A and B are shown apart, each in its own frame.
Chain A
Amino acid sequence: MAVSHLVSQSAFTGVRRRGVATRLLEDERWLAAALLAPTAILLGLFIAYPFAEGVWLSVIDARVGVPGHFVGLANFATLWNDSIFRVAVWNTFIYTAVATVFKLGLGLWLALLLNRNFRGKAFTRAFILLPFIIPTVLSTFAWKWMFDPTFSVINWSLFHLGVIHARINWLGDPGLALISVIIVNVWRGVPFFAISLLAGLQTINPELQEAAAIDGARAWQRFWHVTWPLLLPVTMVVMLFSIIQTFADFQLVYVLTGGGPANATQLFATYAYQIGVGTGLLSQGAAISLAMFPFLLIVVVVQLLYIRRVEVH
């Protein structure tokens, strides 16, 4: 077979002409700018701009239909003296802390259970995620119905198990309301923790566990010294997302109690809604929303630093 036709005959003559656009897009920097432009515009318009406007709103005294004048930190001062706001802050911290602890504990337990091989594992894993997948508001309504003092199936079950003798007003009793809301939040969050932690568990080399077992470690020691440290990075990321979502939560509480009874379940977000949208005090509402920001920032920074430190190792 003649080889000549396989080989280029002509000497290298030179380059094809390229249009300006093509040449520009070959440059990494221009291409990157072009690709990032739509995102930058959308995020700039609907996050950066509102954020700036939110800050501005919080230092004036606007109301719906009434443009405001600069008042400095007066809104924040009012909030500081507002007893309901203080209750809301307290509630939010309790809500977030307790719910996160339980979500982590139960989620981890569930992940460890799911980490074994058993029949119907894939099936189970799929079903477990449902509380997280189904729209929150809709499943929360189911819980509201389950908690209804007159018609509650939970009350019925507890009564027939002999645990209680009178009705429990899950959502109407100021002492119980926060606990009920936390229960629903945990219910919703456990699958997220469980599936994420399960994925983390599955990346841990089983040989490490085996080596530890041969070395004589018992089950919980193996967990504490081998599994947990390796799981920490994933755990921190999951907790980062969860803490922020829970701290800023609105839907759940709004649907279940609206912030009551007597502000027992009032949170930052629900109070901001009540003040800003309900009573139309835009600036005060904006101030309440913004009051969330420092805490969220601290959480993000702390966890990012931690993650970076862990990754370096």
Chain B
Amino acid sequence: MARVVIRNLNKMYNEVHAVKGVNLEIRDREFVVLVGPSGCGKTTTLRMVAGLESITSGEILIGETVVNDLPPMDRDIAMVFQNYALYPHMSVHDNMAFGLKMRKFARPEIDRRVRDAADILGIQTLLERKPRQLSGGQRQRVALGRAIVRHPQVFLFDEPLSNLDAKLRVQMRVELKKIHDRLGTTAIYVTHDQVEAMTLGDRVVVMRDGLVQQVGEPLDLYNEPANRFVAGFIGSPGMNFASVRVTDEGGALLAVGDGIRLKLPSAVAARLKDYAGRDVTLGIRPEDLRLASGEGANGLNLDAVVEVIERLGSEILLDVKVGGGSMVAAVEPTVRAKVREQLRLALNPERLHFFDAHSEAAI
């Protein structure tokens, strides 16, 4: 059980600055997810914690110890890889026992631990099989089992569910959460899938181009994204963005854009009062766009033309054209709409997001 502290971590590959000054403190027993698009530096950071990549500058502490110069075998960590990395020439039992053998554990202790881990994961009957005789899901469990038997201080996960088909992925996600709740070991999990991040993480770290964009609990990232990138990355379907200018018309602030004319409610206006006359980016999530009922008096409506209707069963996604741009609205499944029909959409006044046009930071 240990906390992990990452201080000013940098990684250079020849000329490429892959990880730029990452600072992170992972508390004991916490499940932290690093998420971001490919190339954002999340895997590199994980591998530096594991000791598989050298650190260009900065420090990593596991517990109270600086581990920069420690080889992987001395860091008391365990890792689950995307491709499972099961030793093909060994049985499931030996795969799981390998780490313990390397550390010279006694035979009875090894067998006990392997059996216990197998019980947790439901793979007791597979112990004598070879990896090539197992399905994808079974292999992933063995990989997990191999990590569990070691009783490490920290679990590291490198996109472990990416190779599984969709249904299995959902199933394993739930299992992983259950196992973490049961064992309570500190964990760092890397994925490019924001759904996994939201469902698994106690806290989520969004990364882009080697920099940390935001750290926080999943719902905080969802409700209060720190910048446009996080806003667009978290949530599916993604947030709608439109470029608008803040104008002052007789004391009231309006957001005016192509096909957009919104009277800003007072709470929002207070935030934007320094931006009068300037361009900002408006963000609104699809689920915060509803069909306007009657004539909304609050002036937060958009006129839109339906282009594509996607019926998902639990909701309907309307791809609409607003002015010169497109947006997506997620509405009730009972809504009746037709292609090329003109609609009026209402925006939830409490769910408006604004971002600075240049820095992209949230206002």
Contact = CB atoms under 8 A, between A and B. Distances in A.
Query: Do A's and B's CB atoms come within 8 Å in the complex?
Result: yes
A295 B129 CA distance: 56
A6 B151 contact: yes
A6 B116 contact: yes
B70 A15 contact: yes
Interface residues of B, number: 22
A206 interface: no
Contacts of A9: 1
Interface in B111-146: 116-117, 119-120
Interface stretch (B17-25, B182-190, B231-239, B304-312): B182-190
Interface in B181-199: 182-185
Contact of A12 (B64, B119, B148, B184): B64
B183 A3 contact: yes
Contact of A11 (B2, B71, B74, B119): B2
Contacts of A12: 1-2, 62-65, 76, 153
A26 interface: yes
A238 B323 CA distance: 64
Contacts of B63: 11-13
Contact of A6 (B2, B62, B148): B148
B74 A16 contact: yes
A8 B153 contact: yes
B65 A14 contact: yes
B152 interface: yes
A7 B65 contact: no
Nearest to A12: B63
A218 interface: no
Contacts of A308: none
A12 B151 CA distance: 11
Nearest to B119: A1
A5 B182 CA distance: 12
Interface string A2-28: 010111110111111010000000100
Nearest to B148: A6
A1 B120 CA distance: 10
Given A12-B63, A12-B64, A7 B74 contact: no
B202 to A, nearest CB: 17
Interface string B281-301: 000000000000000000000
Q: Is the interface of A mostly helix, strand, loop or mixed?
A: loop
B2 A7 contact: no
A23 to B, nearest CB: 8
Contacts of B65: 12, 14-15
Contacts of B148: 6
B92 to A, nearest CB: 18
Given A7-B1, A12-B65, A26 B183 contact: no
Contact of A3 (B76, B153, B182): B182
Contacts of A6: 116-117, 120, 148, 151, 183
Contacts of B182: 3
A21 to B, nearest CB: 14
Nearest to B103: A16
Interface in B37-82: 62-65, 70-71, 74, 76
A11 to B, nearest CB: 6
User: Which one of A9, A15, A18, A26 has the greatest number of beta carbons of chain B within 10 Å?
Assistant: A15
A15 B153 contact: no
A14 B75 CA distance: 8
A185 to B, nearest CB: 43
B183 A11 contact: no
B74 A18 contact: yes
Contacts of A15: 65, 70, 74
A29 B1 CA distance: 34
Contacts of B119: 1
Interface string B1-12: 110000000000
A7 B185 contact: yes
A3 B178 CA distance: 13
A7 B183 contact: yes
A26 B54 CA distance: 12
Contact of A26 (B2, B62, B71): B71
Contacts of B76: 8, 12
A15 B72 CA distance: 11
Contacts of B74: 15-16, 18
A275 B135 CA distance: 68
Given A12-B63, A12-B65, A12-B153, A7 B184 contact: yes
Contacts of B151: 6-8
Contacts of A14: 65
A26 B71 CA distance: 7
Contacts of B183: 3, 6-7
Interface in B93-120: 116-117, 119-120
Contacts of B117: 6
Interface in B248-276: none
Nearest to A15: B74
Contacts of A8: 1, 76, 151-153, 185
Contacts of A5: 116
Interface in A230-244: none
Contacts of A7: 1, 151, 183-185
B286 to A, nearest CB: 41
Contacts of B70: 15
Nearest to B185: A7
Contacts of A11: 1-2, 63-64
A208 B215 CA distance: 50
A8 B116 CA distance: 14
Contacts of B116: 1, 5-6
* A-B complex: 4 closest residue pairs judged by Cβ atoms: A12-B63, A8-B151, A12-B2, A15-B74
6 contacts: A6-B183, A7-B151, A11-B64, A12-B153, A15-B65, A15-B74
Given A1-B116, A8-B76, 9 more contacts: A6-B117, A6-B148, A7-B185, A8-B1, A8-B152, A12-B63, A12-B64, A14-B65, A15-B70
Interface of A: 1, 3, 5-9, 11-16, 18, 26
